Structure 1
């Protein structure tokens, strides 16, 4: 979305919330009790990775993305087409405007009025101290699910990793490329390169909430990760396990389409991860952010 300027020198990039389009689920779970309008600092809410599953092992004999994931090259790009409804949703979403501007205000609002501020300015900066703790735990080829505009993908490329971001927003993919990373404009539930071969998979900035179905997302991550590989997940600070219908708004009347989202604390993640074949081997917190390291 938006023009694609010539690539400047790699620099900090925004990381968008991976918010999504409609996801067919039941009623939302109860919210946590911290009040109707405050929920503390937000992780990213990022894209609508609709569950359009293919074979899971390739993109078809004529599709060049069937090749193994390319090593990131500054300015390199891997892309795929979104469906028309998904594309229209993101073109109209205030998240895209915030992404282009590199700043908020931007909020996630639940149907009952609960409001979560989204930390756009942090996503638009380079990796911070908390991000560095994630980067330090990455090994081998890395897949960043809901990469946003690519601050972590670009940093990983700079560290010499083969790294690929996946995001459904074209503007996010463009910014990832401009930052020096490689990205695929596609849902995590679509066929992806190197399935079953990623040494590290990332679900940071709240992206465990993609699609409002963490159990399905954890199973999908297991399909993507190599045996013995790692899944690094950012969780909510609160002991919460909720699935809610939300929309993004900008505080000035701009409002995106409704979609399903989830938030998990560490305890809820452990239970869902175990059912999907993951084991927690480590957890840590820094700068007010909380993470879990899962292995399989």
Structure 2
């Protein structure tokens, strides 16, 4: 497995260790996407709890970060696994009671083809910068009839960018591809990968889409 160097850069590792930002993804033109480190490192909030309530069966959290959802599922007696390319993210997930592996979603995965639910939360529909390829890969990971719960951008956007991790002082590591995708674009790419809409909902400023593998 080859992890993007950015996710091993000191500012990202330090932010997860301390539970504090500021931290951003920065485009070459200077545009910044805030990374909500404090929220990621806290207990699941009201929006997160809607995701936990809608997930079913075994759960794979793709890009689990510091592991709040995986740990919450484990505390409920659920079978859940987080995967992340960041060593610190994996270590923190394990420390708070979750199970996690240092792995990319594009690597071979445990229980491949049998997960009941996959999660792409906290903007992780951007992983790899190619939503079509990502959704096709997730379709291989979940079981027939399985569920994908994704958090989309709150606006109707569909963009590909190259970004670097930025701590407010200096950008770290090499640039890597990322994507920002709204609900309409996600559904369009999902249909091309064999997914169908199961539902949408919004909590505060956060927007979610549930897709099912196959026809409703």
TM-score band, normalised by the shorter chain?
Answer: over 0.9
Q: 2:59 matched to which residue of 1?
A: 142
State the TM-score, normalizing by the size of structure 2. 0.95
Q: 2:94 aligns with which of 177, 201, 208?
A: 177
| Runs of 4+ displaced beyond 3 Å | 86-91
> Which residue of 257, 263, 279 corresponds with 2:174?
257
Written as runs of structure 1 = structure 2, the 5 A alignment for 1:206-217 is 206-217=123-134
The answer on whether the counterparts of 1:129 and 1:287 sit within 8 Å (CA) in structure 2 is: no
Q: Say what the alpha-carbon RMSD is for the aligned residues.
A: 1.3
Larger Rg: 1
Q: Distance in 1 between matches of 2:186 and 2:7?
A: 28
Instruction: Provide the rounded CA distance (Å) in 2 between the counterparts of 1:108 and 1:90.
Output: 11
* CA deviation vs aligned residue, 1:31-61 (integer Å, no higher than 9, x gap): xxxxxxxxxxxxxxxxxxxxxxxxxxxxxxx
The 5 Å alignment of 1:224-243 reads: 224-243=141-160
Mark the CA change 1:164 to 1:217 in structure 2 (over 3 Å): closer, same or farther. Answer: same
TM superposition shift of 1:252: 2.2
Contact 2:118 2:148 survives alignment (8 Å): yes
Larger RCO (CA within 8 A; separation ≥ 6): 1
Aligned residue for 1:136, secondary structure, equals helix
Structure 2 alignment gaps of length 5 or more: none
* Aligned residue number for residue 96 of structure 1: 13
- Structure 2 residue aligned with 1:282, among 181, 199, 206? 199
In terms of fraction of residues, the more helix-rich structure is: 2
Q: Number of residue pairs matched?
A: 213
- Offset, 1:248: 1.0
SS for the counterpart of 1:274 is helix
CA distance in 1, matches of 2:35, 2:51: 20
Select 2:41's aligned residue among 124, 128, 140: 124
- 5+ residue gaps, structure 1, are 1-81
Q: Is the 8 A contact 2:5 2:173 kept in 1?
A: no
